[in-house]
Amino acid sequence: MHVELDGHRLDQQHTSVAAALAAGVDAAEAKGRIIIEAKADGVRLTDEVLSAPPDAPSQIDVLSLTSAEPRTLASVTLYDAADAAQSIRELQAVASARLQSHGFDEEVLKAVQESLETWQALRDVVVQVAQVLQIDLATLELEGTEAGEPARRSAALVGKLGDLKQSLAAEDWSAVADSLGYDLEAEAGDWAAMLRSMATTIGGGEREES
């Protein structure tokens, strides 16, 4: 099996996906880059295969790998996350208003579920970026804030999401509306600003508009 990294073929051939992928990862790391996509004869490998690549002999001819500079990738990911935080802020405001005017219904439930899923994704992004770049969130300094702002925000968010879940379980719709329309609405705005600040700090500049 041949291995191509960013269009350039590596010298050695390999018999298994595991060995070929390992060779590609090593070559990318030697350049200070990380693998972001892998294709086997033009077909994109799934996350399941990438997390546990088979080490048995394979009939694949070419494993094509695409890499990226980790700080640039992290910056783009954080900007996208900031956009998601802004979107969830608007969704929560609409859900809160509907809950107060129409009561709890399927539309509100769908919005709450989307809110919880998005918040989990945002927290995951921050943790994953920190892991990839080996950043200590407890000491990370962002412009205009004290060191450790991401860690504090993450801890505070856990408490507010816990309050929302408790209110849902108790069917306290007034408290649910307050969580969505006030507590988490403000939190979404703060997270959007924090994520953009992280993206700028890590990427070394403002977002490039397409």
Q: With helix as H, strand as E and coil as C, how does 86-146 read?
A: HHHHHHHHHHHHHHHHHCCCHHHHHHHHHHHHHHHHHHHHHHHHHHHHCCCCCCCCCCCCC
pTM (2 decimals)?
0.79
Q: Could you report the per-residue pLDDT of 65-119, keeping only the tens digit for each?
A: 999 999 999 999 999 999 999 999 999 999 999 999 999 999 999 999 999 999 9
Q: Are 140 and 148 in contact (CB under 8 A)?
A: yes
Task: Tell me, rounded to whole angstroms, the distance of Cα 128 from its chain centroid.
Answer: 7
Q: Could you report the per-residue pLDDT of 6-37, keeping only the tens digit for each?
A: 999 999 999 999 999 999 999 999 999 999 89
What are the residues whose beta carbons fall under 8 Å from the beta carbon of 187, sequence distance 6 or more?
Answer: 153, 156, 157, 160
What are the residues whose beta carbons fall under 8 Å from the beta carbon of 39, sequence distance 6 or more?
Answer: 45, 63, 64, 65
